[in-house]
Structures are given as C-alpha cells and as structure tokens.
Amino acid sequence: MTGMDTAETGQGSPSAGGEGTRPAGCSRLGPWKRGPVLTACALLLGLLLLLHGKLTDWAGLGSLVETFLPWFGLFVPVLFAGALWRRSASSVIALLLPVTVWLNLFGGLLDDKSHQAGDLTVVSHNVDAGNRDPAGTARDLAASGADLLALEELTDQAKGTYEKELAKAYPHHAVQGTVGLWSKLPLSGTRPVDVRRGMTGPLVEQPRSEDIPVDPFRALRTTVTTGKGPLAVYVVHLGSVRVMPRGGFWTDSRDADATELAQAVAAERGERVLVLGDFNGTMDDRAFDSLTSQLRSVQDVAGDGFGFSWPAKFPVARIDQILVRGVEPKSAWLLPATGSDHRPVAAGISW
C-alpha cells in the first residue's frame, strides 16, 4: 500500500520537480556563471587588440601580431557561437570589449572613403624578381593610365624589358638598384637613399658583374615637376622579413631600413612628399611609427576596405604602401593581379 501511495503521489519519483527531465550535461549554473573560459578568452582578445603596442617584441612577436591584427576579429564570431551554445551571458557581455576595440581600430576601413579622381594618379608595384612575364606586367601597368609608376624588385635581366615596354607611355624614368620610377612628368635630382641594402631576399643570390654592388640600392629619391610645383618622391623596398626556426619573426633589416627612411623624410625640406613601395609590413606595425607620425596612408584616408596586397592569390596583408605629406588623398584602390606575387596598389592625390 505504501508503494502504491508513493507512486500515486509522485513522491520519490526521479521526475519530481522536473529534475529527471534535465538534458544530460546541462549545467546547473546560472547564465552569469557559465562559460568562464569563454569569458576569459573574450577579455584576453579585447586586451590584445587594445594593448597590442605594449606586447613584447621578443623574437618579433609584437610585429607578427600587428602584421595580421585585423584578422584577430575572426575570433569574435567563434567566441560568440560558443557563448550561445553555453548560454553564457557573461561571455556575451565580455565580447563587447574586443568588438568595440576592433571597430575603433578598423571600422573606418569598412566604408568606401574614395572621392573623385585626383590631380595625379600614382601606382606602386613589386614586380617580383621571379616574374615570368615582365613584358605583360609592364603592359598591364601602363594600361592603368597612372602618371607615376613605382616599381620594386627589378632585376638586371628584366629592367630592359620594362624600359622598352613603358617608354611610349612614360618618357621619363629613373632607376637606382632594384627600384625605379616611370613618369609622364619630368624628373630631376634623382639619387639613391641610404638604407641598408639587400641583406636578404631573392635578389641577393643574383649573380652580378664586378662593377655593380653585390647589395643593390633598394630606395631612391627624385623630384617630379608638376603644374602645381615640385613633388618629392621616394620609391622604396624595405628589407625582407623571415620566420626563423630559432629566432622567431626576424625583422631587423626591415626595421633598420624604416628608421633610415623616416630620417630621410624628416630631413625633407619640401612641403609635398610622396613615398611608395614594398614595406614588407603593415602600417599597424610599431616599426613604422616614426613614418606614420610624419605621413598619412592613402588607404586609411581614402581607400575602400583593407586593401590587402600580398600574396596576390589570396591577399592577407597590405605590405605595399602609398604614403603622403602635404597633398590630399582622394582615392585608393588595388589593380588586377599581374605575373607578380604582389597586387599593384594605386591612389589618386590632389593639391
């Protein structure tokens, strides 16, 4: 009788109070206490984005993180999905930190800030020492209609091809080592810029005649005569970076070049300065603080999106730059891929 009474009243049943129907593995914790690991990861991500400049640069860690800094935003939807799965209110709230910081850093790049065409169209392209079709690359670049065309990683074998293919569209040009500038406007006062030369990279192993330095110049400075006055132009290819098994992310050569270039720009007496080239790094990298304090990135001011330029097949970073001082960026964009492993970058500037 006692057993029947118990069964009828439900007392002692596993389903009493609904406990027996709770899904296996479901947490008994409240929504504010669930997912502590997710919450911690969200806060750490936000702090990394906020304080990336304070991150140690031991073994190049800081530079490596800053090179791919925009991509850290991809962790947000992953963590958000985890927070929903765990039904963790604290994790969702914690994600507001990385979202806010990421939007503050990169939200402006999501809009198209380009305006009308500028007074001068400029293009910069690392043409790649291993480019198998330099003639085709030259024709593609000439078809862009740019007034100034800066080329990096020129080889002795390919230089003649570029000179021949670009001669009709660009009556003026200057080459120093592995960099050159082709122009529709007169050039004057061309000279090499004293940055460290060719310590690493594909051009170092290139056989050279005895009267040519083993380490070719990687930067030049020239003056372009425009209808609105002189324009100081620098074409640069900063030192290579390498991921070393024991040394980490090696950036010594590039960082030294960036310092030398910043000093050259600081000494520039002219009001209007244009710097184009392959920087082997993004403008988020601390190594370029001495440059970004003097110059503006056309992509940041007048670009559409992030403008990633490398590698050409699936760009993940903008390491090819156009920086200005004393002129106004009006637009910035990427040109179609050529035979190089970089995408050409272009901009319209005005006075």
pLDDT for 242-252, tens place per residue? 988 878 999 99
169, exposed or middle or buried, with CB in 10 Å at 0-12, 13-18, 19+?
middle
Q: How far apart are CA 205 and CA 185, in angstroms?
A: 35
Closest by CA position to 322, among listed 154, 118, 123, 180: 123
Closest by CA position to 169, among listed 213, 138, 192, 207: 138
Tell me: pLDDT of 88 over 90: yes
Tell me: pLDDT of 232 over 90: yes
* Residue the block writes with tokens 């039904």: 87
Closest by CA position to 234, among listed 284, 204, 184, 270: 270
pTM for this predicted structure? 0.85
* Least confident piece of the model among 4-8, 303-307, 334-338: 4-8
Can you read off the two tokens belonging to residue 324? Answer: 């200005």
Average predicted confidence (pLDDT) for the chain: 89
Q: Give yes or no for a contact between 217 and 179, defined as CB atoms under 8 angstroms apart.
A: yes
Q: What is the mean pLDDT of residues 176-183?
A: 97
Can you read off the two tokens belonging to residue 27? Answer: 């947490």
The pLDDT value recorded for residue 194 is: 83
Non-local CB neighbours of 351 within 8 Å, separated by 6+ positions: 119, 228, 229, 272, 327, 328
The pLDDT value recorded for residue 214 is: 54
